[in-house]
Structure formats: structure tokens, C-alpha cells
Amino acid sequence: MHIFFKLTIFTSLILLFTGCESIEITTQNTASTTASTDNPLRVACVGDSITEGVGLSDEESYPTQLSGMLGEGYTVQNFGKESATVMKNGTLSYWNTSQISASFNYNPNIVVIMFGTNDARPENWENNSSFISDYEELIELYKNLPSKPIIYLSYPTPVYDVVYGITNDRIINEVIPSIRQVASNQGLRIIDNYTALVNQISLFPDNLHPNEEGARLIAEQVYGTIY
């Protein structure tokens, strides 16, 4: 079901059950997100190695699997970068990669952002005071693109051991609450890929990166949210 049609039904039901009182509903550019084969919507998948698909072929990565699910009315591009952080002071900041400018030039209609795993590395998280502000600054840059895209934030996936100093405890108790705060501040919807892959250790061969099946679950979560 088309996202604009869903929102129209939702709004109508609210008005019905509130006696048609005046209600202010904030949505992001829904009118411009009409998919068609003649004018496909551009979806940008932004993030770190989990988005890039480290350990997977291009066909197995979640953005490519998402493209297959969405079909001809959409084009999906993968702008993930291994080891990237959303924090500017991270060991490999997304701000200093070619992927960030490429994603802007793509002028997407929809942006799905998933950061936090590399930010949680001890050497990065010790300077986490900028996590929320840097994340929000990145979001604002996407919001101000000519296409005025709809933006979704994804929670990072679980970590099943201590990997590069990253712990699942930090992901669930520190990183995710920070992302939740960013989403609240920016009025954005969250895609909960953490819950979708929790207790799924068999899908993480190196305890950090999902395999093809794990990537499929991520793609399904994203598909179910944006379509």
C-alpha cells in the first residue's frame, strides 16, 4: 500500500474518532513520494558496514534486497561505508567519506540512515557528547536537499560479543536511547532493526555483521516501514 494512501486513511480515521476537531499532523513531503515506473523514487541507504554489506556480495546486501522488494517504482542506492561513524570526531567519520557527497548528489526521495555501531567503539564513544548534534546536523543536510526527502532512522543491529571493543550493552543502553532522542528532536520515524535481529546470533557469523538472511530481515523491516 502506498505511503501517501496509508497516511490519508490514518488521518481520516483520526478526524472521525475525534469528532473532526482541528488536529495538526506533521508529515514529511508525502505528496512527492508517488512511485511509478516512469518516475521511480530514489532511495538512499546511508550507514556503515552493515549497510554496505561487509562479508556479503552486492546482491546479498540489504539495500539490494530492498530494491528487489520495492520493485520497479523505486531505485535503491547503497551509500554505506565500512567503519564509518556519524560523529565528526570518529576514527572514520562519514563526514569525510566520498559516500556522503554521493548520497547528496543522488538527491533522494527517501533516506534510510543507520549509524551507531562504530560510534560505540570505546575510542569513539568517549567523545560521544557530539553524537546527537552531529547526527542532527547530517539529518538537516538531507532535509534541505532539493528533493526534500522523507528520512528514517534505523537502530543498529545487536552485537553478539565484544567486537573492536563494541558491546551490546552500550548499543542497547546508550546508543539506542541517543538515536531515539535524535528521532524525537527531528520528528522522524524509527526502523527497529535491533529488535528484528535480537536473539539471532546464528545470523551473525562474526558476531557483528549479518549474513544474507540477516540482511534480508533488515530489508524487510525497511520495506515494511517505507512502503
Q: What is the pLDDT of residue 38?
A: 79
The model's pLDDT over 23-42, given as tens digits with 9 standing for 90+, comes to 222 334 443 457 777 799 99
The model's pLDDT over 35-67, given as tens digits with 9 standing for 90+, comes to 777 799 999 999 999 999 999 999 999 999 999
Distance of CA 149 to the CA centre of its chain: 13
Strand runs labelled E in 6-92: 41-47, 74-80
> CB burial class (10 A; 0-12, 13-18, 19+) of residue 19?
exposed
> CB burial class (10 A; 0-12, 13-18, 19+) of residue 36?
exposed
Q: What is the pLDDT of residue 149?
A: 98
The model's pLDDT over 96-146, given as tens digits with 9 standing for 90+, comes to 999 999 999 999 999 999 999 999 999 999 999 999 999 999 999 999 999
Interstrand relation of 74-80 and 189-191 (parallel, antiparallel or unpaired): unpaired
Interstrand relation of 74-80 and 110-114 (parallel, antiparallel or unpaired): unpaired
b/e map of 171-208 (b: 16 or more CB within 10 Å)? bbebbbeebeebbeeeebebbebbebbeebeebbeeeb
Q: What is the pLDDT of residue 33?
A: 57
Residues 6+ apart with CB under 8 A from 24: none
User: Does the pLDDT of residue 86 top 50, yes or no?
Assistant: yes
Q: Which of 208, 110, 204, 220 lies closest to 156 in space, CA to CA?
A: 208
| Domain residue spans of the chain | 1-32, 35-226
The model's pLDDT over 138-191, given as tens digits with 9 standing for 90+, comes to 999 999 999 999 999 999 999 999 999 999 999 999 999 999 999 999 999 999
Q: What is the pLDDT of residue 34?
A: 72
CA distances from 201 to 10, 196, 204, 209, 211 (A): 37, 12, 5, 10, 10
Instruction: Tell the CATH superfamily of the 35-226 domain.
Output: SGNH hydrolase (3.40.50.1110)
User: Average pLDDT, whole number, for the chain?
Assistant: 89
Q: Whole-angstrom Cα distance, residue 120 to residue 125?
A: 5
SS3 121: coil
